[in-house]
A and B are shown apart, each in its own frame.
Chain A
Amino acid sequence: MSNITPVTTDEGAPDDLPEPGDAMGDKQHGAVNKTYGFLRAIPTTVLWFIVVLWSLPTMGILVNGFRNRDSQRNSGWWKGLWPGNFGDFTLENYDQVINARQSIGQSLLNSFAIAIPATIIPIAIAAFAAYAFAWIDFKGRKVLFIATVSLLAVPLQVALIPLLQLATNGAHLTIPLLDKTVTLIPNLGFGNTTTIVWLVHTGFAMPFAIFLLHNYISALPKDVFEAARIDGAAHFTIFWRLVLPLSVPVLAAFAIFQFLWTWNDFLVANTFVGANPDAHPTTILIANLAGDFGRNENILPAAAFVQAFIPLIVFFSLQKYFVRGMLAGSVKG
């Protein structure tokens, strides 16, 4: 390997540059460099291949979003890209989505009112729990942790009906023999509001949030905590001043997904606020716009992109927190 100049960047390997002090003949030298250049290019080629493969299905709805209803129904999306068919391009689908009779503005607000608390509050709750599971010694911690994470396996469809009853009626227990009813959880009047939707999302998010954050927080270097404990820092301080700042990448990763899931959720929202049009998030609005039996299916490609716009912004803005070197200087070899 010593005949190869060290390359410091991943790309733009200087294949053609002559290497001073190389003992090999020019011909052989060229062959080696060519092979080397070819091998170096493989990862980038693989990446290109994956990116194209992953984007191709999406291209279908991207193109169809700009085609009118008849051409969407009668010919494949790729035909829209043939020069002769450029005349079919239109903005009317986007116009229909954005200027719908039932305004998209209110539903966007509802989506935010659901997705923002449903993202931030689980992070706050789960981070404290994950820290306790990872760095505080207490009885039964392993068993409780396993119990917590195993709730990840609960199929949500099952949980919805009991929770809907809870949200609309509260919980009451009738004591046998005495014939007396005790109210365990009163009806708080959250039924059919966005509040109950984000509360439910918060509960459903808990196992995954604790699982993911615990994995990261428990892997933080022990020295950091020991030094802080010796300096007399309390757990709350350690958590606030050390754990939170050091965990920024994983908090960002969780926030991206949780925001995405709650923003794109249809099932939970439809179960809890389906009957109240004022509280509908965009997913329900779009499903309603499409109409029964796909009558207005032509607006769905455009709607899918309007719907995906905000999560993509969240993804881009949180991605910069995936930074390298958070732990620089805290590990010794």
Chain B
Amino acid sequence: MNPIFLGLVTIVLGVGGCIGYFWASNLVLDKVIFPAKGKNIGRNINRANMVRPWLFIFPAFAALGLYLAYPVVGSFVRSLYGRDGSDFIGLGNYVWLLSDDEFRQAVFNNILWALVVPAGSTFFGLIAAQLTDRLSWGNIAKSLIFMPMAISFVGASLIWKFVYAVDAEIGIINAFRAWAFDADPVDPLQIGFWNNFFLMIILIWIQSGFAMVILSAAIKAVPDELIEAAKMDGATDSQVFWRVTLPQIGTTIGVVVTTIIVLVMKVFDIVKVTTNGQFDTNVLANDMFDEAFNIRDRGVGAALAILIFVSVLPVMIGNIRKMQKEN
């Protein structure tokens, strides 16, 4: 069959089926199972309303259960078994990790990442979103800041090779050092401790575009009446930003920071292609990949996955609680 035709059929069936499900299931609920007529009308309406939320969230839960919850449970079970998966060792893998230097280094680095990258990306994203908001060339500025997100990772890894490369002919940092100070080339990615920050810059560069787009949509949603009223009362632009806009987009900033923290805890490809975790730059997800696919201890790999998952939970729960209170 013609692939274009097949693709179109997939899209129409998928999207149509999805919307059709919601429409039809509501219709069946209201007209057939619990019709709002007859002698049980009151009871029927109440029952229909008890069932309805479950109709609304059922497809989401089916997808979540199959594609995310099921692998997590599977990984947890696997993490309780040894290298080849036949001998049950309880928490043995976790205990082993606690004494592993590579793991401790990864935990320390992940904490650094989680502190720096979400703050940096949100900061630059917010500045960009606010400054471009009512600017004539705002859309051009936005698309240039968004560009790093649009470039696939294969491209991005090459981009940063041209920045960090040791060869002064290729890497712009060493080229500049040679030109300005006549200095010998260094490898920025081998400078202990600080090399972590050079890798973080890559992620901040990518994620600022993410923060900018989400925050930009939120800033546009701040009701004009509020801003005009504040200006009418004599507020300056910066006062409007600090006192009106910022409180209005507070929960969205929370969403952006939380999402980036989660992303950072899972950060993998940047470290994989630049240092592969050498020179004290390892992170949990890269350690996990090493254990599961190179060292071939799937049990330890699964334990690491569970630890990544669990470590993010307090941040998420705290944030969601806070947001629900504010609403």
A interface residues, Cβ below 8 angstroms from B? 1, 9-11, 43-44, 46-47, 50-51, 54-55, 57-58, 60-61, 64, 74-78, 106, 109-110, 112-113, 116-117, 120-121, 124-126, 128-129, 131-133, 136, 138, 141-142, 144-146, 148-159, 162-163, 166, 194-195, 198-200, 202-204, 206-208, 210-212, 215-216, 218-219, 234-236, 249-250, 252-253, 256-257, 260, 264, 266, 283, 286-287, 290, 297, 300-301, 303-305, 307-308, 311-312, 315-316, 319, 322-328, 331, 333
CA distance A120 to B147 in the complex (A): 22
Tell me the dominant secondary structure on chain B's binding face: helix
* CB-nearest residue of chain A to B317: A146
CA distance A236 to B52 in the complex (A): 9
Q: Mark B266-286, 1 if CB is under 8 A from A, else 0.
A: 101000000000000000010
Which residues of chain A are within 8 angstroms of B266 by Cβ–Cβ distance? 153, 155-156
Contact of A308 with B169 at beta-carbon distance under 8 Å, contacts A57-B160, A154-B309, A206-B63 already known: no
B interface residues, Cβ below 8 angstroms from A? 3-4, 6-7, 10-11, 14-15, 18-19, 22-23, 26, 30, 49-50, 52-54, 56-57, 59-61, 63-64, 66-72, 74-75, 124, 127-128, 131-132, 134-136, 139, 141-156, 158-160, 162-163, 169-172, 175, 205, 208, 210, 213-214, 216-218, 220-221, 223-226, 229, 234, 236, 251-252, 254-255, 258-259, 262, 265-266, 268, 285, 288-289, 292, 301-302, 305, 308-309, 312-313, 316-317, 320, 323-324, 327
B100 → chain A, closest Cβ, in Å? 18
CA distance A37 to B52 in the complex (A): 58
CA distance A188 to B74 in the complex (A): 21
Which residues of chain A are within 8 angstroms of B163 by Cβ–Cβ distance? 57, 60
CA distance A60 to B3 in the complex (A): 36
Contact of A236 with B23 at beta-carbon distance under 8 Å, contacts A117-B15, A121-B18, A148-B60 already known: yes
A242 → chain B, closest Cβ, in Å? 15
Which residues of chain A are within 8 angstroms of B144 by Cβ–Cβ distance? 51, 54-55
Contact of A319 with B220 at beta-carbon distance under 8 Å, contacts A58-B159, A200-B67, A256-B213 already known: no
A-B contact list, 27 entries, CB within 8 Å: A11-B135, A47-B127, A61-B158, A78-B172, A128-B57, A129-B56, A129-B59, A136-B49, A146-B320, A153-B265, A153-B266, A153-B308, A153-B313, A155-B288, A157-B268, A157-B305, A158-B301, A207-B68, A215-B252, A216-B252, A219-B327, A235-B26, A264-B152, A308-B147, A322-B220, A324-B224, A326-B221
CA distance A286 to B136 in the complex (A): 37
Which residues of chain B are within 8 angstroms of A316 by Cβ–Cβ distance? 139, 143
Contact of A159 with B155 at beta-carbon distance under 8 Å, contacts A206-B60, A308-B150 already known: no
CB pair A250–B217 under 8 Å, yes or no, is: yes
Which residues of chain A are within 8 angstroms of B268 by Cβ–Cβ distance? 155, 157
Interface contacts beyond A208-B259, A253-B217, A322-B220: sample of 9 additional A-B pairs, CB < 8 Å, sorted by A:
A10-B135, A50-B145, A113-B10, A120-B15, A128-B56, A152-B312, A203-B63, A204-B68, A319-B139
CB pair A331–B225 under 8 Å, yes or no, is: yes
CB pair A74–B169 under 8 Å, yes or no, is: yes
Which residues of chain B are within 8 angstroms of A109 by Cβ–Cβ distance? 3-4, 7
Contact of A47 with B172 at beta-carbon distance under 8 Å, contacts A128-B22, A146-B320, A150-B312 already known: no
B59 → chain A, closest Cβ, in Å? 5
Partner of B158, one of A54, A301, A319: A301
Contact of A203 with B64 at beta-carbon distance under 8 Å, contacts A136-B53, A211-B255, A234-B30 already known: yes
CB pair A47–B128 under 8 Å, yes or no, is: yes
CB pair A322–B217 under 8 Å, yes or no, is: yes
CB pair B159–A149 under 8 Å, yes or no, is: no
CA distance A106 to B2 in the complex (A): 11
Which residues of chain B are within 8 angstroms of A200 by Cβ–Cβ distance? 67
Which residues of chain A are within 8 angstroms of B68 by Cβ–Cβ distance? 151, 154, 159, 203-204, 206-207
Which residues of chain A are within 8 angstroms of B258 by Cβ–Cβ distance? 211
